[in-house]
Structure 1
Amino acid sequence: MAQGNQKSGGDYSIAQLGDPVVLTLSVGFIALFVGFSLFDLKGVADAIGSGFTWTAKFFGTYFQMLLLATFFIAIGLACTPAAKAKIGNLDRPEMSTFRWLSIIMCTLLAGGGVFFAAGEPVYHFVVTPPAFDTEPGTVEAVASAMAQSFMHWGFLAWAVLGTLAAIVLAHTHYVKGNPLQPRTLLYPIFGERIMSGWVGSVVDAFCVIAIVAGTVGPIGFLATQMSFGLSELFGLTDGLGTQMAILAALAAIYVTSAVTGVHRGIQFLSRMNVFLALAIAAIIFVFGPTLFLTNTYMQSMGQYVSSFLDMATMTADTAPNWWMKWWTVFFFAWFIGYAPLMAIFVARISRGRSIREMILAVAVMAPIATTVWFTLLGGSGIYYQMTGVIDLAEALNNFRFDVATLTVAQALPGGGFMALAILILTTIFVATTGDSMSYSIAVVSSGHDQPKTFVRAFWGMAMAAMAGILLYMGAGQISVLQQFIVITAIPVSLILLPSLWLGPKAAYAMAREQKIIEEKVVLQHS
């Protein structure tokens, strides 16, 4: 395995945090964002809000096209003989299939999917998405509400996180010996210039800033959600003190997991998460509105497939601008911002897997599992909303998804027990995001895939500290930071763009190097 230029020695100097340009730009961003927020909270929010609106207006359609192209090219590539090529030149995978799929599901779905799974379908049920004309709050609105949620968290979202870009990284890292860094995605175009020059450092820094902005948000929102939940369930004070205590506990969990590495802490958290999620899913399905959930999934998946292109190509010209900005464009930009470092992570854990296995796991199996989860939690929320057990219309119109998750959870079989279980599940999901992203940022900044423990811990604690400072300023500032990821998606999308043709090219190169394509030709003529 290519290890890059790993430094030896036991002293944990600042230099060991990695590339000084990446460090200066990424830590500098954190310091500037916090500093300007302390100086002029409203000014920072207004500036980023304006940038968010401008980006959504002028780049929203481009983001949608990028995700569509990535998905269809990846699926097409999976159907070719080149997809038999093995990643990392290993005959057998480094980890079992269950562990591998668990890490993929928990890392890529993360806290965002769990956080929105209860509330988003109910929101689309009470506010009809622009791609449909069903009467809100009616039986006819159920399938369209779920289908819209599937669009945001389904095939397109997953494909951009770990298919074509992961193939490019796998080839250039395991075969060419280049480090697992975002700049490596551009190596086939620019060669050594991008690997050793300051431009490559800037590329890495953009991706680190995007991932920090995208990860601090779920970390901060989890603290507010847990604080609200513990207040409702146990009467604890829902305030800054409780939020800070939750944040400290969460940071301790994911930093410990990150420093123990992919094969220990990250695997352990992911497996525990999967078992807990399966248990919760089984209880909801067996003891909840089973027939309604079954019928809803069938109808919604059919609606998702039949209306796929209509939803995926909806623009501000055919839908309200505010809706596109806060839903489709926001989510798609969020996934684009995550994509380079997620691709690094997928390439790292997929050694010994075929390209076909990786594409199908990330772009097909994981989205289907996500749609099932959204149906169980969000479909139950719709059922209880429709039957009058709960009323989330006002909370969701104010984007109070923390309230939505707890309210739906309390209406489920088991009431308070299920609410606590889902809060714990959300916590572990966010922890798996924190640990995997701390690890991935450490890989990027160090330039090799075995970063020092100190580096992993530094980035984990840095994100927790930023979340804590923003919570101190007010949860609204975390929302502002999440809006910033839409802006960072512009440069990150340009870094991902070449993978549309470099991904297939890398796959065929690996297939030739492993004698897969030639062997097929010989067999045909024998």
Structure 2
Amino acid sequence: MKEIDGKVFWPLTIVILTISLYMFLDPQGATTITSAAFNFVVVNFGWLFLVVGASSFLFLGYVAFTKYGNIKLGEPNDKPEFGTFSWGAMLFTAGLGVGILYWGINEWANFAINPPMGVEPGTPEAFTWATSYNMFHWGPTAWALYTIPTIPIAYAYYIRKKPVVRMSEACRPILGKYTDGPLGSIIDILVLFGAIAGTVAALGIGTPLVAEALHHLTGVPVTLGLNIGIAVFWAMIFTVSVYLGLAKGLSKLSSLNAYLVIGVMAFILVVGPTLFIIDTTLNGVGNMFQNYIRMSTWTAPFTDSMFPQWWTVFYWAWWLAIGPFMGIWVTRISKGRTLRQVVLGEVIFGSTGTFMIHGILGGFALFQDVNGIVPVREIIASGATYAGQIAVVETITSLPFGNIVLAVFTITGLIFMATTLDSVAYTCAMVSSKDLRGTNLEPARWHRTYWAIQCGLITVALVYLVGLGPLQSMCVTSALPLVFVFIIMAMAFMRSVKSDFGHMSAETISSGMYLLTDGKVTEVISPQIEGSQAYTAATKEVENNE
């Protein structure tokens, strides 16, 4: 217990248990309060979320395409800990989760029923905007919002040699001594609360989906007991994975998940309406990029439509809430990579994966709907309990060998949930640890397992005894203060990187001609090779100057 930071660990535990208890005792009151807070945020501060989303590319573009993109996370001679595929798989599976399998089939249908931009429902134009918006909401802006906190957090840990991986520590160049006080603890608690709420909320989609699939395959009735049993099962999976550690557990699980996703998508593309899927995907992506600025800034001020508030603002707030968790997680797995690789890797890996999944799943579901094979829009519009899950099962089983594909699809969803919640458990353990120097960013096993179990307990208590809405609302509401934290972090990073590397040339940075000593960056006259005369001389020079 000595390694935990009580200023973060205990308040977060108390907050989670208190909120869970209140929701259990007064679910209606909790729903009313959180819904009101959600409405207040998206209606009154929707414009702010849109501005942050649109401007995120300016910050990341500066990082990636200037000399600072050559900065390597770690020592200049460090090599990446994970291969490119495993690294990309962990980025992708942690950042999305099972929700993309659900929304990949269903989201376009919601937009076709109630389309944006004043378009008539059910028309070809409505389908075009529907297939564009689902990729837009899960595409480059989402991954850009994930990447913003990654850069300052990783820089503070690997370059400035801070002993902890925290969002508050990344703000130190601006906050100064206040980082060590209540303000710093509040920032870290908000970060972890948003991460837990956001990722656990995904289970509210995933578990009923798995239950509906089991019902279709085995005839077992969908009950509360079945849902809880599924939640316990995946909790066991990710608890074991967390206990085994990152290299043995999560990296292998993430790679397996990526292979399963690619396999399922390839099968649907080949045996499904291949040309229709390709045409629909290209059309949607093209329309999205053609209208990217408009979609990023559309607030519908001259209509009664709440589409941008209820969908785009909601998603941007959601990604902001989960973004710090992703920043901490990507920091953990990105040692030895440059800032440019991190920026481009997150945005490109993530966006490409979402385009593929939304394009294939959405295109196939749209084809089945318009050809009268599976009435996806009708199922969604019915408002039936778990209508979305029913639509997914009906769509998947309309494929050749549908039951087999559904079984693989279900396993993929389970692993998606496990990898995402594994990542959260690691993140919570890292942030609530006092000092991670010498641990290779591996918190104690009991600590990681504690947060894995905590996530499982919260899921069972909140999602199935209370409902998903309040948890989602709290997650989005918690994103509002994080907007300002994001801004502070970006400013802190710019101040730090200009102070440390501003006087160096791009060639000096890219060739590793600098030393990192106690959080100080010192330029040397030749590449840093440990044991060489240049390295020894430079080290002595640094020691003499301190």
Is this a same-fold pair by TM over 0.5? yes
**Residue 461 of structure 2 corresponds to which residue in structure 1?**
469
Give the secondary structure class of the aligned counterpart of 1:337.
helix
Counterpart check, 1:193 vs 2:183: no
Distance across 2 between alignment mates of 1:520 and 1:439: 31
**Residue 142 of structure 1 corresponds to which residue in structure 2?**
127
Counterpart check, 1:59 vs 2:49: no
Q: What displacement does 1:499 show?
A: 3.4
Which deviates the most, 410-419 or 444-453?
410-419
**Structure 2 counterparts to residues 398-417 of structure 1, below 5 A:** 398=383, 400-417=387-404
Tell me if structure 2 keeps the 8 A contact 1:115–1:426: no
**Residue 264 of structure 2 corresponds to which residue in structure 1?**
280
Choose the corresponding residue for 2:470, options 480, 484, 487.
Answer: 480
Give the secondary structure class of the aligned counterpart of 2:329.
helix
Choose the corresponding residue for 1:125, options 102, 112, 116.
Answer: 112
Q: What displacement does 1:498 show?
A: 2.2
Which deviates the most, 27-36 or 227-236?
27-36
**Residue 9 of structure 1 corresponds to which residue in structure 2?**
none
Choose the corresponding residue for 2:83, options 57, 79, 96.
Answer: 96
**Residue 3 of structure 1 corresponds to which residue in structure 2?**
none
Q: What displacement does 1:154 show?
A: 0.4
Q: What displacement does 1:515 show?
A: 6.0
Residue by residue over 1:170-222, the C-alpha shift from the partner in whole angstroms, topping out at 9 and shown as x without a partner, is 2211122221011112111123430x222211111111111111121112332
Q: What displacement does 1:413 show?
A: 3.4
Structure 2 portions without partners, runs of 5+? 514-546
**Residue 530 of structure 2 corresponds to which residue in structure 1?**
none
Change (3 A) 1:74 1:232: same
Tell me if structure 2 keeps the 8 A contact 1:258–1:457: yes
Give the secondary structure class of the aligned counterpart of 1:238.
coil
**Residue 439 of structure 1 corresponds to which residue in structure 2?**
426
Change (3 A) 1:513 1:180: farther
Q: Which amino acid counterpart does residue 306 of structure 1 have in structure 2?
A: Q
Q: Which amino acid counterpart does residue 289 of structure 1 have in structure 2?
A: P
Tell me if structure 2 keeps the 8 A contact 1:247–1:464: yes
**% same residue:** 26
**Structure 2 counterparts to residues 154-193 of structure 1, below 5 A:** 154-162=139-147, 164-178=148-162, 179-193=164-178
Which deviates the most, 35-44 or 400-409?
400-409
Distance across 1 between alignment mates of 2:303 and 2:414: 35
Tell me if structure 2 keeps the 8 A contact 1:284–1:413: no
Tell me if structure 1 keeps the 8 A contact 2:136–2:288: yes
The RMSD of aligned alpha carbons is 2.2
Change (3 A) 1:520 1:32: closer
**Residue 377 of structure 1 corresponds to which residue in structure 2?**
361
* Structure with greater Cα Rg: 2
Distance across 2 between alignment mates of 1:432 and 1:319: 41
Change (3 A) 1:337 1:165: same
**Residue 77 of structure 1 corresponds to which residue in structure 2?**
63
Q: What displacement does 1:56 show?
A: 0.6
**Residue 258 of structure 1 corresponds to which residue in structure 2?**
242
**Residue 26 of structure 2 corresponds to which residue in structure 1?**
40
Which deviates the most, 335-344 or 500-509?
500-509
Give the secondary structure class of the aligned counterpart of 2:124.
coil
Tell me if structure 1 keeps the 8 A contact 2:90–2:254: yes
**Residue 114 of structure 1 corresponds to which residue in structure 2?**
101
Number of residue pairs matched by the alignment: 502
Give the secondary structure class of the aligned counterpart of 2:478.
helix
Choose the corresponding residue for 1:224, options 208, 211, 214.
Answer: 208
Change (3 A) 1:472 1:84: closer
Q: What displacement does 1:503 show?
A: 4.0
Change (3 A) 1:114 1:503: farther
Distance across 2 between alignment mates of 1:358 and 1:514: 21
Distance across 2 between alignment mates of 1:60 and 1:407: 35
Q: What displacement does 1:380 show?
A: 0.7
**Residue 535 of structure 2 corresponds to which residue in structure 1?**
none
Tell me if structure 1 keeps the 8 A contact 2:380–2:387: yes
Structure 1 portions without partners, runs of 5+? 1-12
Which deviates the most, 394-403 or 493-502?
394-403
Distance across 1 between alignment mates of 2:90 and 2:484: 27
Tell me if structure 2 keeps the 8 A contact 1:442–1:456: yes
Give the secondary structure class of the aligned counterpart of 1:327.
helix
Q: What displacement does 1:396 show?
A: 2.2
Distance across 1 between alignment mates of 2:288 and 2:205: 29
Change (3 A) 1:296 1:435: same
Tell me if structure 1 keeps the 8 A contact 2:53–2:296: no
Distance across 2 between alignment mates of 1:152 and 1:28: 34
Give the TM-score of the pair, scaled to structure 1: 0.90
Q: What displacement does 1:322 show?
A: 4.2
Change (3 A) 1:90 1:348: farther
Give the secondary structure class of the aligned counterpart of 2:299.
coil
Choose the corresponding residue for 2:486, options 496, 499, 502.
Answer: 496
Which deviates the most, 462-471 or 322-331?
322-331
Change (3 A) 1:22 1:376: same
Q: What displacement does 1:249 show?
A: 0.8
**Residue 543 of structure 2 corresponds to which residue in structure 1?**
none
Distance across 1 between alignment mates of 2:319 and 2:194: 10
Give the secondary structure class of the aligned counterpart of 1:118.
helix
**Residue 457 of structure 1 corresponds to which residue in structure 2?**
449
Q: What displacement does 1:313 show?
A: 1.0
Distance across 1 between alignment mates of 2:345 and 2:335: 14
Tell me if structure 2 keeps the 8 A contact 1:341–1:437: yes
Distance across 1 between alignment mates of 2:24 and 2:480: 26
Distance across 1 between alignment mates of 2:21 and 2:510: 60
Distance across 1 between alignment mates of 2:310 and 2:223: 27
Give the secondary structure class of the aligned counterpart of 1:390.
coil
Choose the corresponding residue for 2:9, options 18, 23, 31.
Answer: 23
**Residue 5 of structure 1 corresponds to which residue in structure 2?**
none
